[in-house]
Amino acid sequence: MTSPSKKPPCLERFRAITAHCFITTPYPRLHDDLHRLLLPQRLQPEIGLEGNALWHEPGARFEEAARLLHGCGLAATIHAPFQDLTPGGFDERILDLSREKLRRAFALLPLFRPRSIVCHLGYNHQRHRHNLERWLSVSTETWKGLLPLAQAAGVKVMFENTYERDPSIHRALFARLEEFSPGFCLDVGHVLAFSSTPWQQWLAELGPWLGQLHLHDNDGSSDAHGPIGSGCFDFQGLLQRLAQDGRRLLSTLEQRSVQDTLSSLAALERFDTAALSGQPLES
């Protein structure tokens, strides 16, 4: 989140927001950001486990990061790896590697004790729609092997929307995973960039499972992960609706730079952020 050559910004004015939300932090930057920004500013990371860290990083490095966070009384969420993974895939070797990498992420839950772990379904309409039942069956088997690990650690699993065009895929999978009480993470930028369904319908159909928000913006043409207010998502409408419904959700700012994160925090000051001050659904 920050460059060694730049002085970290002061975020004290945003404390009412940052005390409750999480800031996306890819694991390769985590150790530097902990010392330069997260710990001094008391920011809570959503630790992204993309890349090769789960294959090669010594366990002691994960333990050090968790110890620093716990020692300062800071919570975290975890974003499970997703790039190149196919949790509902049909190639058995690629599927085995996908499951193994996800197992390694879930194995960190007792160490970090995150408020949630966010996962992608890996569904692609173009590739999977003609074999939907097979995809659902394989996906169900994958997640049934992982969700008990999260339950044992007391961590809620949130499945976010990515390339899914509408809520039907999540609903079908959630019905098969009902015994594990899955949660839903509404990624508002992905709704704009990839979905043919407005956020109101996502909320209406998946509201009972909603436990977390991923907040970033774009103009609808690409997944820009821009600051709040830089695109066309109706943040005021969403936050007002959630506040009126009495929802209290986990939330993560998913910008790609410090400046964009600052811009998002400034934008959130204009809105009713009561819905961003909550707890995850009970495991």
- Classify residue 217: in a domain, yes or no: yes
Residue 26 belongs to some domain of the structure: yes
**Inside any domain, residue 159:** yes
Q: Which domain holds residue 101?
A: 12-276
Residue 175 domain-assigned? yes
**Segments in the chain below pLDDT 50:** 2-5, 280-283
| Whole-structure pTM value | 0.95
How many structural domains are present in the chain? Answer: 1
Q: pLDDT tens-digit profile of 230-241?
A: 999 999 999 999
For residue 6, is it within any domain?
Answer: no
Alpha helices in the chain (DSSP H): 15-18, 27-33, 39-41, 53-56, 59-71, 92-106, 109-112, 125-128, 132-144, 147-153, 168-176, 188-194, 199-206, 235-244, 258-268
Look at residue 10 in the predicted model and tell me its pLDDT: 75
Q: Residue 59 belongs to a domain with what CATH number?
A: 3.20.20.150
Residue 65 maps to a domain: yes
Domain assignment present for residue 281? The answer is no
* Confidence at residue 280, expressed as pLDDT on a 0 to 100 scale: 43
pLDDT at 6: 62
Tell me, yes or no, whether 106 lies in a domain.
Answer: yes
Q: What is the pLDDT of residue 8?
A: 66
- The residues facing 159 across adjacent strands are 119, 184
